[in-house]
């Protein structure tokens, strides 16, 4: 039997009402999106900020110990 013929015999459920569909999206998708954004911020932006803060503090410590700032031409 042809797979398309099998598909033609399957009953398709009706489209849910707009209110029901929207409520389902809000209940299932929105919390997941919020969790994803929080994780991205925690591991992405926070790590980036810590790296740059550490570089600035290391430059301040170097200035305190040697009296000179790191050379700008050697920056990444």
Provide the pLDDT for residue 20: 87
pLDDT computed for residue 7 by the predictor? 82
pLDDT at 75: 59
Three-class SS of 1-15: CCHHHHHHHCCCCCC
Q: Which residues contact 62 (CB under 8 A, 6 or more apart)?
A: 68, 69, 70
Give the pair of three-digit tokens for residue 39.
Answer: 């994780």
For position 50, what pLDDT does the model report?
92
CB distance 16 to 24 below 8 Å = yes
pLDDT by residue (tens digit) across 4-56? Answer: 888 888 888 888 888 888 888 888 889 999 999 999 988 988 889 999 999 99
């Amino acid at each position: 039997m042809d797979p398309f013929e099998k598909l033609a015999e399957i009953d398709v459920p009706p489209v849910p009402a707009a209110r029901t569909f929207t409520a389902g999206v809000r209940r299932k998708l929105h919390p997941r999106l919020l969790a994803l954004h929080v994780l991205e911020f925690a591991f992405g932006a926070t790590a980036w900020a810590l790296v740059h803060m550490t570089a600035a503090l290391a430059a301040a410590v170097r200035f305190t110990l040697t009296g000179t700032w790191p050379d700008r031409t050697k920056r990444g």
